[in-house]
Structure 1
Amino acid sequence: MKILTRKNGESYIIKLCGELDASTAEPVEKVLDEIVLTEPAQIQIDCKELKYISSRGLGVFISRFQEIKDKQIDFYLFNMSEPILYVFRVLGLEELMDLRAENTVKT
């Protein structure tokens, strides 16, 4: 798993490359937690190069979702492939989280 972060004004973009599973979740959690602590206006998760996500990988986002919402941080995942988006939809996460096929916000 490769994790690339970029700050753009009051927004952070986290680009995930590879597979997000039990063996790679901890570094992603650490990056996300550090960014949430800064209370940015927005966190964008770029999933264009995300090849696979396990239940443990989903847990990275699910477990932090309420804190992000409570801090009123605009949070969304974008550039999701159909298989990755399907996993989120099957679990009903599209009802909770903002999921986008592509990035519709200029960065």
Structure 2
Amino acid sequence: MNINVQFQKEGQVINGYIKGEIDTYTAPILREELDALEIEKDSLIQLDLSRVSYLDSTGLGIFVAFYKRVVKENARLKLVGLTARLVRLFEITGLSELMDIETNTKVEFNNESI
């Protein structure tokens, strides 16, 4: 039950890299890291979730709260690298309609990647 959060700023873009499980035990760590992030107007925050192996409802709540904060600061949030499983969680909850989500998943059709 570990989580690792790192940020790298490049101009108006802040890239965040999250690795591990996001659950009841690790969500407070993620919340603290996101709360400490300085968000400038018109900036883009991209959170790479490609190395997130598990996400529960507590973690989803963290992302919702962070999304609201980013919008309030007149900035943009983009979630990138989500696995099909994480995409499904965001779809089921309707959050995929609110948030900008980019996946790294490939669609398989007759054993061919599209």
TM-score by length of 1: 0.87
> 1:94 & 1:12 partners in 2: Cα distance?
21
Shift in Å, 1:39 = 2.1
Q: How many residues align?
A: 101
Unaligned runs of 5+ in 1: 103-107
Cα deviation digits, residues 6-31 of structure 1 (max 9, x gap): 11112111111110111111111111
Q: What is the aligned partner in structure 2 of residue 7 from structure 1?
A: 9
Instruction: Find 2:78's aligned residue among 76, 79, 93.
Output: 76
Relative to its length, the structure with more strand (as a share) is 2
* Higher relative contact order, structure no. (Cα contacts within 8 Å, ≥ 6 residues apart): 1
Once superposed, what is the RMSD of the aligned Cα atoms? 1.3
> 2:63 & 2:52 partners in 1: Cα distance?
14
Aligned pair 1:24/2:26, yes or no? Answer: yes
> 1:74 & 1:65 partners in 2: Cα distance?
8
| 3-state SS of 1:100 partner | strand
Relative to its length, the structure with more helix (as a share) is 1
Aligned pair 1:50/2:49, yes or no? Answer: no
Amino acid at match of 1:74: R
The sequence identity of aligned pairs, in percent, is 27
Unaligned runs of 5+ in 2: 105-114
> 1:75 & 1:95 partners in 2: Cα distance?
13
Q: What is the aligned partner in structure 2 of residue 39 from structure 1?
A: 40
For the pair shown, the structure with the greater C-alpha radius of gyration is 2
